[in-house]
């Protein structure tokens, strides 16, 4: 089991990310909380009451790729060192049946994938040099198959899963842990207009599942765990059947 003294949560202003910040701070971890909405970050920090002093807010847009190395250096200096980095930022704009929208696809690639690479490349170099650290990427069950609902979103999560696997294959030999977490549906602002979703969980439950995988150093963790057998079945459905379903 790994323990953490300091952490960075990227995408910390709502949903799963705000619960990650809250749980880490309450466990005594000093957390750098990043997202665009400074006011929401401040709300997350202030809500912690006595534990608010453990959270530092850094308003940041992950698509401002050029600013990442300097911001990461600044956070490392402010925190002393960084044990855990969670890349949680993500967007999933609604895509209608029959809609093929490059702008929406571009936005998802920019945040869900390129933002992850912009952050996790310098994080990987830092942790490789220190021979220590844990990287967690929040992928999704949505990345396990290319489904009809939102092709761009499925693509970004599949690519993120592969990128994280490649980082793991580079970094394990240097004592760095790379954890891919694939949540199923979680009740957050991202999913609020999607109607009834299967096995929907609350964001605090998702956050504790993610942190359990981070501490255990899981390779690929499903949250909740029931999604693993479900996705194993879904992944095995042949295309000639899958393309006729509404999954
Ligand atoms: N909800 C689900 O069912 C579900 C399932 C599987 C995986 N996930 C993944 O879990 C992660 C968190 O999602 P959520 O459901 O908690 O959604 P959410 O409440 O909408 O949170 C998304 C977070 O990403 C941040 N973000 C978005 N664009 C950003 C940008 N350009 N720069 C910096 N931060 C940005 C948002 O902050 P600002 O808007 O303040 O920038 C917010 O903190 C995402 O990666 C999502 O794909 C969600």
Domain ranges (residues) in the chain: 6-242
Cβ contact 63:55 at 8 Å: no
Hey, what are 156's tokens? 């970004």
pLDDT at 247 over 90: no
Architecture of domain 6-242: 3-Layer(aba) Sandwich (3.40)
Mean pLDDT, residues 134-163 = 97
Q: What is the pLDDT of residue 176?
A: 98
Gap between the Cα atoms of 57 and 41, Å rounded: 6
- Kindly indicate the confidence band of residue 246, based on its pLDDT and cuts at 50, 70 and 90: confident
How much distance in Å is there from the Cα of 190 to the middle of ligand 1? 7
Gap between the Cα atoms of 48 and 188, Å rounded: 19
Gap between the Cα atoms of 239 and 241, Å rounded: 5
Angle at 59 between CA 86 and CA 111, to 5 degrees: 55
Mean pLDDT, residues 22-39 = 98
How much distance in Å is there from the Cα of 244 to the middle of ligand 1? 30
pLDDT at 27 over 90: yes
Which residues have C-beta atoms less than 6 Å from ligand 1?
A: 11-17, 35-37, 40, 60-63, 88-92, 111, 138, 140, 183, 185-186, 188-191
pTM, 2 dp: 0.98
């Amino acid at each position: 089991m790994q323990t953490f003294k300091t952490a960075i949560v990227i995408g910390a202003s709502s949903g799963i990310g705000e619960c990650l910040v809250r749980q880490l701070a309450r466990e005594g971890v000093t957390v750098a909380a990043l997202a665009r909405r400074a006011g929401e970050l401040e709300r997350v920090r202030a809500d912690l009451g006595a534990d608010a002093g453990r959270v530092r807010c850094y308003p940041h847009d992950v698509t401002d790729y050029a600013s990442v190395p300097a911001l990461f250096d600044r956070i490392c200096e402010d925190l002393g060192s960084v044990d855990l980095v969670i890349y949680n930022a993500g967007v999933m704009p609604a895509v209608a049946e029959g809609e093929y929208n490059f702008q929406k696809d571009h936005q998802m690639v920019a945040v869900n994938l390129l933002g992850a690479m912009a952050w996790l490349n310098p994080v990987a170099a830092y942790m490789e040099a220190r021979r220590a650290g844990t990287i967690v990427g929040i992928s999704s069950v949505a990345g396990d198959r290319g489904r009809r609902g939102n092709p761009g979103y499925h693509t970004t999560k599949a690519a993120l899963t592969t990128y994280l696997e490649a980082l793991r294959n580079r970094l394990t030999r240097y004592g760095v842990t790379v954890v891919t977490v694939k949540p199923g549906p979680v009740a957050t602002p991202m999913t609020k207009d999607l109607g009834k979703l299967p096995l929907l969980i609350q964001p605090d439950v998702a956050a504790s599942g993610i942190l359990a995988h981070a501490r255990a150093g899981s390779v690929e963790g499903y949250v909740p765990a029931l999604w693993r057998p479900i996705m194993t079945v879904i992944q095995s459905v042949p295309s000639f059947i899958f393309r006729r379903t509404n999954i």
